[in-house]
Structures are given as C-alpha cells and as structure tokens.
Amino acid sequence: ELHLSIRNVSKTYPNGVLALDHVSLEIPKGMYGLLGPNGAGKSTLMRTLATLQEPDSGEITLGEINVIHQKAEVRKTLGYLPQEFGLYPKAKAEELLDYFAVLKGLTNRASRKEVVTALLKQTNLWEKRKQKLGGFSGGMKQRFGVAVALLGNPRLMIVDEPTAGLDPAERVRFLNLLSELGEKSVVILSTHIVEDVSELCTRMAIINKGKILLEAEPLKAVAKI
C-alpha cells in the first residue's frame, strides 16, 4: 500500500538556521498532521515534499518514487495547497480551473469539462463558477485551491497551514473536504492549530526547531501536551 517515507532529512539555510534536523517519518495513506509553532520547520518540510526545494541530506520516497531525485514523477501525482493560494483576481473560477487542467496535461476538452464540473461541485463552488476570484471569500479561495490541487488525482496532497483566516463554518467544510481525500491518498496537513489535527488526523507528529519531538495518534499526543 501507498506510503511516504522520510529518512534523516536535514536542511540548513544559508543564514545558518537549521530548519530540519534529521527528520524521519513513516506516513501511511490517510490524514497525517504535522503540528508545530511558527518557525518549527513545517513549511520547509512541506516545500521539500512538494519538490520546491531540496534538503542537504536524507532520503524521501513515495511508494516507488524517489521524491528528491524524480521530481517530474512526484509532480505528476502531487497536490500542493500553499498557505495562500496565488490569486488571479480577474479570472473566473471555471475558466481558471480549466486552464490549470490544461497545464496538468488534460488536453481533451470533453473530459476536461467533466473533471472541472465534478471538482467545482465537490468543492461547493459550482454556483460561483462564473464569478471572478477577486470577489471570493477566504474560504472560497481555499476551496478553489483544493479544486486545483485535486486535478490529476494526487496520491500525495500537501496542505500548508490551511485554516488560518477561515471562519468556523468554512473551516469545517474545508476540513471535511480534505478528509474525503485521505481515503485514497497520503494527505499531510501542516498546522499550528491543535484542533485541526485532533479532529481529523489518524496519525500526527510534533515538530519544533527542526526536530520531531513526538509521533503518535492525535488523542494520545494531545493528552501529553
């Protein structure tokens, strides 16, 4: 079964900050929480998994794929939802999603239409499909980001601090959407909010100053904090 393996990954930035210090994690399919305060190294690890930067040392594999050395292979099967979804205020939701689908290699118009329609419905944006992203609320933007990330059925979904700025109703909606995904992919949710992890994730790790302090089931871990 699909499995993400992170072994002894370290990263020091040019300014001397040790952002990841021999990080090792074995992550199965499902929702996995990475919990830590600001500056802990979460984004560094997320960007590394998303092939946006390389570690100084260590190994990362997703199933048979070497994540550090086979970037193109990873990217085919990766969904990445950054902290803030890069916004194109003048683009309309459906048109932009269709455009991203083209970039993902969906060249057949009819099948693209089918995929785009399904994703807009799944993320509850179907009614808003003709509207410009500039008028979207924070939660709508996040859900649009999920729709983009879901193009191409990712086996690895990286979600970096997603619930900041969402109102409670939007937050629940968004997290439910993610947990559906966990049924078929490895989903890693990076956050500093304990509840995001305790409510949804089946496994979790706590990171601080680049080190993994604890790896456990959320309820047991939260009891220890």
Q: How far is the CB of 92 from ligand ADP (least distance, A)?
A: 29
Q: Which residues are CB-contacts of 178 (< 8 A; sequence separation ≥ 6)?
A: 31, 146, 157, 159, 162, 187, 189, 200
Q: Decide whether 2 or 194 has the Cβ nearer to ligand ADP.
A: 194
Interacting residues with ligand ADP between 8 and 37 (CB under 6 A):
13, 15, 17, 19, 36
| The two three-digit tokens of residue 225, written as one number | 């904090």
Q: How many beta carbons lie within 10 A of that of residue 52, not counting itself?
A: 15
Q: For residue 10, what is the DSSP state? A: E
Is 145 a binding residue for ligand ADP by CB under 6 A? The answer is no
Identity at 130, one-letter amino acid code = K
Q: Decide whether 8 or 131 has the Cβ nearer to ligand ADP.
A: 8
Report the DSSP beta bridge partners of residue 132.
92
Is 38 a binding residue for ligand ADP by CB under 6 A? The answer is yes
Q: Is the Cα torsion angle 13, 16, 19, 25 positive or negative in sign? A: positive
Q: How far is the CB of 212 from ligand ADP (least distance, A)?
A: 13
**Site size for ligand ADP (CB under 6 A):** 12
Q: Candidates 40-48, 96-104, 139-147, 170-178: pick the segment binding ligand ADP (CB under 6 A).
A: 40-48
Q: How far is the CB of 116 from ligand ADP (least distance, A)?
A: 30
Q: For residue 133, what is the DSSP state? A: G
Q: How far is the CB of 195 from ligand ADP (least distance, A)?
A: 17
Q: How many beta carbons lie within 10 A of that of residue 123, not counting itself?
A: 23
By CB under 6 A, name the binding residues for ligand ADP.
Answer: 13, 15, 17, 19, 36, 38-44
